[in-house]
Amino acid sequence: MTPLSTDPAARARLRWSAATSSVQIEGSRRADGAGRSIWDDEIAKPGRIRDGSTAEPACDSYRRVADDLALVAGLGLDRYRFSIPWARVQPDGRGPGNVAALDHYARVVDGLLAAGVTPFPTLYHWELPSAVEADGGWLARDTVERFGEYAALVAARLGDRVSSWYTLNEPAMTTLQGYAVGALAPGRQLLYGALPTAHHQLLAHSRAAEALHARGAASVGLVNNHTWVLPLRDTEEDQAAAAVYDLLHNRLFSEPLLSGTTPDLEVLGLPPLPVLGDDLARIAGSIDFYGVNFYNPTTVTAAAAEDDIPFEIVPTPGVPVTGFGPEWPIMPSALRDLLIDLHRRHPSMPPIIIGENGASFPEPDVAGPVEDIDRIAYLSAHIDAVGEAIDAGVPVEEYTVWSLLDNWEWTDGYTQRFGLVHVDFSTGERTPKGSYGWYRDLIAGTRAAEDAEAARA
Ligand code: BGC
């Protein structure tokens, strides 16, 4: 791919951010009395992590806060997205807040504010305390109230300085990858038996949103992974398979939040979600913004009749791929198309925030100048796609790069580098890549364009 020319007018209308998550960067997993999470349990399963690694020390960010803050400040970001792990705050998933952990995140928040960057924390980036999973995890309705209590504890400590919050990261991935097929923690393989976790997560988000708003939060939202689903062939069977996958990956989560309805699961011969009383009203009224993480489109074809599920995910023909190979096709127009489609389905939706977008590419392990042409091309093409969606009337307000740093990529360990900054995992040394300077300049250019516009007005 070659870099596309990013439209300055579309850029000028966006806020800029970059993201990380706790287990992927922090290390120091037991520091300050932290409890175990389902990712500690996953790491302990023999052969589970592709390169045999652990999340220790990852980028050593729990101890290198100052280094990360300097990188954030150097980019000139409007906001920084980071996650606070539940098991650090409530090691057993219930009870009083762990003061040392809350103090740590207060220091992160203060450091960001001092650098003129708005802190934008995520309360749950896939790290369920092991104690909560032992009680049923997201399959249990009780987890809803427990998550609300955890959110209230964090808000009580940080709510005077943090006004924008993400509650959950990518509930679709927790349901599909965590509980349905087991590619992520907690590694359950329940297939359709996983679907109650979708409702419980949305409800937990709504409880957390209530707790955050009650403590003064101005802007609360959830960020989900969205994909643009393409039928492999233009046949009725493949269109039907694509519709099922779209329902499970996208609509199961977006419709309760944006329309207060649940999609019809009867088409799959499935029981309805475990919705009680005013659940849907609480979910529908719960967001100030809608977060979209986007990485790739998904192409599906109809599965063989005897299969348990009616679709099969296949490589997307005719497009380049990222470091993950055919599993992660590159198609920037898919981001534009899904944003326009989402807005068409929900015309009065709240503002959209792109909470993650990025890609891994094969890179040398050693620190050194990484030109990073592929990442720059990927990011600029996707920012252009966001600009096209804005031109078509979609209310996108913010764009976030995944990720600030190379990091520990879940069950893929250290094999995939997503960072604007190269990290040497044996020394912790950080070396900005070409994409870091490119993003910094893009942000600065945007500000200059805004200033020029303001001077003309
Ligand atoms: C997750 C990140 C992850 C990224 C790349 C997103 O689904 O939120 O934690 O590293 O994708 O796989």
User: Is 6 a residue whose pLDDT tops 80?
Assistant: no
Structure tokens at 406: 């190379």
**Contact indicator for 321, 365 with CB cutoff of 8 Å:** no
Q: What is the mean pLDDT of residues 179-184?
A: 98
Structure tokens at 273: 């979600």
Q: What is the pLDDT of residue 345?
A: 98
Q: Which of 13, 5, 131, 2 is nearest to 390 (CA)?
A: 13
pLDDT (tens digit, 9 = 90+) per residue, 11-60? 557 999 999 999 999 999 999 999 999 999 999 999 999 999 999 999 99
User: Is 8 a residue whose pLDDT tops 80?
Assistant: no
**Contact indicator for 400, 18 with CB cutoff of 8 Å:** yes
Q: What is the mean pLDDT of residues 238-257?
A: 98
Structure pTM? 0.96
Give the model's confidence band at 3: pLDDT under 50 very low, under 70 low, under 90 confident, else very high.
very low
Q: Please spell the DSSP secondary structure of 138-180, one letter per residue.
A: GGSTHHHHHHHHHHHHHHHHHTTT--EEEEEE-HHHIIIIIII
Q: Whole-angstrom Cα distance, residue 136 to residue 148? A: 16
pLDDT (tens digit, 9 = 90+) per residue, 53-82? 999 999 999 999 999 999 999 999 999 999
Atom of ligand 1 nearest to the CA of 402: 4
Atom of ligand 1 nearest to the CA of 407: 10
Q: Whole-angstrom Cα distance, residue 345 to residue 450? A: 32
Cβ neighbour number for residue 102 with a 10 Å cutoff: 19
Q: Which of 269, 106, 287, 280 is nearest to 199 (CA)?
A: 280
Q: Is 124 helix (H, G, I), strand (E, B) or coil?
A: strand
> Residue 126 C-alpha to ligand 1 middle, in angstroms?
10
Q: What is the pLDDT of residue 12?
A: 59
Give, to the nearest 10 degrees, the angle between helix 332-345 and helix 252-259.
40
Averaged confidence pLDDT in the chain: 95
356 is catalytic: yes
Give the model's confidence band at 453: pLDDT under 50 very low, under 70 low, under 90 confident, else very high.
confident
Strand order in the sheet with 311-314: 229-231, 298-302, 311-314
**Contact indicator for 129, 92 with CB cutoff of 8 Å:** yes
Tell the burial category of 258 from Cβ atoms under 10 Å away from its Cβ (0-12, 13-18, 19+).
Answer: buried
149 is catalytic: no
Q: For ligand 1, say whether the CB of 425 is within 6 Å of any of its atoms.
A: no
The share of the chain scoring above pLDDT 90, in percent, equals 91
**Contact indicator for 80, 120 with CB cutoff of 8 Å:** yes
Q: What is the pLDDT of residue 268?
A: 85
Q: Please spell the DSSP secondary structure of 183-214, one letter per residue.
A: SSTT----GGGGTHHHHHHHHHHHHHHHHHHH
Q: For ligand 1, say whether the CB of 173 is within 6 Å of any of its atoms.
A: yes
Q: For ligand 1, say whether the CB of 406 is within 6 Å of any of its atoms.
A: no
Q: For ligand 1, say whether the CB of 174 is within 6 Å of any of its atoms.
A: no
Give, to the nearest 10 degrees, the angle between helix 252-259 and helix 196-214.
40
**C-alpha dist (Å) from residue 370 to 133, 363, 400, 434:** 40, 8, 21, 6
Q: For ligand 1, say whether the CB of 169 is within 6 Å of any of its atoms.
A: yes
> Residue 110 C-alpha to ligand 1 middle, in angstroms?
26
Q: Of the ranges 86-100, 168-182, 353-367, which one carries the lowest mean pLDDT score?
A: 353-367
Give, to the nearest 10 degrees, the angle between helix 65-75 and helix 434-456.
50
Q: Is 44 helix (H, G, I), strand (E, B) or coil?
A: coil
pLDDT (tens digit, 9 = 90+) per residue, 405-447? 999 999 999 999 999 999 999 999 999 999 999 999 999 999 9
User: Is 4 a residue whose pLDDT tops 50?
Assistant: no
pLDDT (tens digit, 9 = 90+) per residue, 135-157? 999 999 999 999 999 999 999 99
Active-site position among 133, 170, 255, 398: 170
User: Is 267 a residue whose pLDDT tops 90?
Assistant: no
Parallel, antiparallel, or unpaired for β 421-423 and 430-432?
A: antiparallel
Atom of ligand 1 nearest to the CA of 358: 5
Q: What is the pLDDT of residue 363?
A: 86
pLDDT (tens digit, 9 = 90+) per residue, 185-196? 999 999 999 999
Q: What is the pLDDT of residue 340?
A: 98
Structure tokens at 272: 């309805």
Q: For ligand 1, say whether the CB of 296 is within 6 Å of any of its atoms.
A: no
Structure tokens at 237: 């069977």
Place of tokens 């689903």: 229
Atom of ligand 1 nearest to the CA of 410: 10
Residues in the chain: 457
Question: Within 13 Å of residue 348, how many CA atoms lie on the same side as its CB?
Answer: 4
Q: What is the pLDDT of residue 13?
A: 73
Q: Who contacts 37 (Cβ-Cβ below 8 Å, separation ≥6)?
A: 23, 85, 86, 87, 127, 128, 129, 130, 185
**Which residue type occupies 283?**
I
Active-site position among 42, 133, 255, 356: 356
**Helix (H) or strand (E) run with residue 130 in it:** helix 130-134
User: Is 370 a residue whose pLDDT tops 90?
Assistant: no
**Contact indicator for 120, 79 with CB cutoff of 8 Å:** yes
Ligand 1 probe mutation, 25, 410, 420, most atoms within 8 A of CB: 410
Q: Which of 61, 163, 168 is nearest to 120 (CA)?
A: 163
Q: For ligand 1, say whether the CB of 357 is within 6 Å of any of its atoms.
A: no
**Contact indicator for 91, 35 with CB cutoff of 8 Å:** yes
**Which residue type occupies 450?**
E
Positive or negative, the CA dihedral 233, 239, 245, 246 is positive
76 Cα distance to chain centroid: 21
Q: What is the mean pLDDT of residues 96-120?
A: 98
> Residue 304 C-alpha to ligand 1 middle, in angstroms?
30
